[in-house]
Chain A
Amino acid sequence: MSEPHGTPGGEREPARDDADRDHDLAARADREVASLERQIDMSLRRADDAASGRTVVRRRSPALVAAFVIVTLLFLATAALAAYLWRTTDEWRAEAVQRGELATAVAAQRDELAGELNQAERDLEATDNQLLELQDRLLSLADERAQTGDELELTRLIANDVASVASQLEGCALGQDQLIEQLIAVLEELERYDPASVAAGARQASEQLNTACDEALQGIEDLRQRLGTE
């Protein structure tokens, strides 16, 4: 404590200053004692709480709690999204690799199949051409066979006609032979026959014979015309 300075007022002034200082010092000491008592009291309470295992629940503001919850939720959502995207990326990467390998294999297979297809198309075209040729050949053979059948049937008909004409000619010739033989026989024994009746019989037989021979000649003519036109 410093020595009080002298004042021009009188001797009682230093005494009052001392009293004020003492009073201030006492008040300060009281405050410090009260503060220490509070600290001691708080320390003792904490010690008691610690000894009894109780937790100290501090009362916090609801707004602060809500903010904390929201931020936590956002963090969790972001983390979940990041995890999902991470996994998706990995899956797509693996899939891309697999598809790339598959695309390469498929492309190679496609090239191979394209070659086989081209070859098959060429084979098919060749087979088609062969089939068309065979079909054409088959139709030609069927036509030739049919034409041969037509000619055969026609020949058979003509042969029948020829046989018929030949038969008529044969009848004509036989008739002529018979007529001649009969006339020779009559001439050899002419005295036994009436000349008039012989002549009449000969004319009648000749007419009949001419009719048959004319039919045979007509048959020949018809046949000749038929052979000429067909």
Chain B
Amino acid sequence: MSRLNVTRAAFVLAAFVLAGCGTVPDLPPMPERLVINQTPALPTPTPGSITLSPDGFRTTERVAVRVRNVGCEGVSIGSGFAVSANRLVTNRHVVTGAATLQVSTYDGQDLLVEASGTAVLADLAVVETSSPLPAAVELADEDPAVGTEVEIIGYPGGGRLTSSTGEVLSYEEDPLNANAGEVIVSSAFAQPGSSGSPMYDSEGRVVGVVYAAAPDGQHSLAIPASTLRGLLDQTSLDEPVPDCQ
């Protein structure tokens, strides 16, 4: 074989080798060392308005209070809910005519009532307590839209703490003429004793205050949260609750 032939053969071999590099897959990498004893991160609870207390009750249940109106002629029962450490909201007609007001919590604790005042426009009242309330609830920024799922937690019939669910059916002029403006009509169950119950949305925010069952007995009526917010924004509740004296 001549020198020229040897050179040609070497170049051809090199060309084959280099061309082959283009078709050969990537070289296998070195293995990465395993990290052993990994400790999985525990999930952190997401902040929300619906939280559980150590006794397992939801905040929406813990804020619900039972209001006993001891008047001159008899005893009537209503519901209410805490909006701050020492303030609760209920209906005006729940506290009207009371010689004394007695408030108890979901777990049966009695709270001392200090004073109460009522709103001028709607069937709403604010009661101040000397004893701290178990929890406070958040008000919704906007009134619920038609179709919103709602939950009412209160003491229907003066019985035990009860929850009923439904949805907002419509907004109508108050059929009982007890409130100014439109009120919420919902399919959630209510009956005497439910008056003053909070109406919650799915996030546990108050969207209304139940004040009556609809005349058909199938629906409940509630004062929208926007009206309640107007009441709470008042610096003072000048109008005293009428008593039975």
* Contact yes or no, B108 A141, CB < 8 A: yes
Cβ-based interface call for A15 (8 A): no
Q: Per-position contact with B for A117-144: 1 when CB-CB < 8 Å, else 0?
A: 0000000000000011011001111110
Cβ-based interface call for A207 (8 A): no
In the complex, residue of chain B having the shortest beta-carbon distance to the beta carbon of A63: B7
* Contact yes or no, B14 A135, CB < 8 A: no
Q: Cβ of A85: which chain B residues have Cβ within 8 Å of it?
A: 27-28
A222 CA to B36 CA in the complex, in Å? 84
* Contact yes or no, A88 B70, CB < 8 A: no
* Contact yes or no, A140 B160, CB < 8 A: yes
A71 CA to B151 CA in the complex, in Å? 85
Which B69-117 residues sit within 8 Å CB-CB of chain A?
70, 72-75, 77, 102, 104-108, 110
Known contacts A66-B7, A153-B68, A230-B74; decide if A91 and B31 are in contact (CB<8 Å). yes
Cβ-based interface call for B34 (8 A): yes
Size bracket, chain B contacts: 35 or more
Cβ-based interface call for A56 (8 A): no
User: Closest CB of chain A to B28's CB: distance in Å?
Assistant: 5
User: Closest CB of chain B to A17's CB: distance in Å?
Assistant: 46
A68 CA to B110 CA in the complex, in Å? 104
Q: Cβ of B42: which chain A residues have Cβ within 8 Å of it?
A: none
Q: Cβ of B56: which chain A residues have Cβ within 8 Å of it?
A: 131-132, 134-135
* Contact yes or no, B74 A157, CB < 8 A: yes
Known contacts A91-B30, A92-B31; decide if A67 and B11 are in contact (CB<8 Å). yes
* Contact yes or no, B108 A64, CB < 8 A: no
Cβ-based interface call for A180 (8 A): no
Cβ-based interface call for A41 (8 A): no
Give the interface SS of chain A, mostly helix, strand, loop or mixed: helix
In the complex, residue of chain A having the shortest beta-carbon distance to the beta carbon of B66: A146
A153 CA to B34 CA in the complex, in Å? 73
* Contact yes or no, B74 A139, CB < 8 A: no
* Contact yes or no, A142 B31, CB < 8 A: no
In the complex, residue of chain B having the shortest beta-carbon distance to the beta carbon of A69: B10
* Contact yes or no, A150 B10, CB < 8 A: no
In the complex, residue of chain A having the shortest beta-carbon distance to the beta carbon of B14: A70
Cβ-based interface call for A52 (8 A): no
* Contact yes or no, B27 A98, CB < 8 A: no
Cβ-based interface call for B216 (8 A): no
A134 CA to B53 CA in the complex, in Å? 14
Cross-chain contact of A71 among B10, B107, B155 (Cβ < 8 A) = B10
Which B1-54 residues sit within 8 Å CB-CB of chain A?
3-4, 6-7, 9-11, 13-14, 17, 27-31, 34, 36
Q: Per-position contact with B for A66-105: 1 when CB-CB < 8 Å, else 0?
A: 1110110010010001001100100110010011001000
Known contacts A99-B34, A149-B102; decide if A143 and B10 are in contact (CB<8 Å). no
Cross-chain contact of B107 among A91, A132, A142 (Cβ < 8 A) = A142
Among B3, B10, B102, B161, the most chain A Cβ lie within 10 Å of the Cβ of: B10
* Contact yes or no, B77 A66, CB < 8 A: no
Q: Cβ of A68: which chain B residues have Cβ within 8 Å of it?
A: 10
Q: Cβ of A91: which chain B residues have Cβ within 8 Å of it?
A: 30-31
Q: Cβ of A153: which chain B residues have Cβ within 8 Å of it?
A: 68, 70, 75, 102
Q: Cβ of B4: which chain A residues have Cβ within 8 Å of it?
A: 63
A43 CA to B6 CA in the complex, in Å? 32
* Contact yes or no, A157 B10, CB < 8 A: no
User: Closest CB of chain B to A98's CB: distance in Å?
Assistant: 7
7 A-B residue pairings within 8 Å (CB atoms): A64-B6, A67-B9, A91-B31, A102-B36, A139-B106, A147-B158, A150-B77
Supply 7 further A-B pairs (C-beta < 8 A) apart from A74-B14, A150-B68. A84-B27, A88-B27, A135-B55, A135-B56, A139-B161, A146-B66, A157-B73
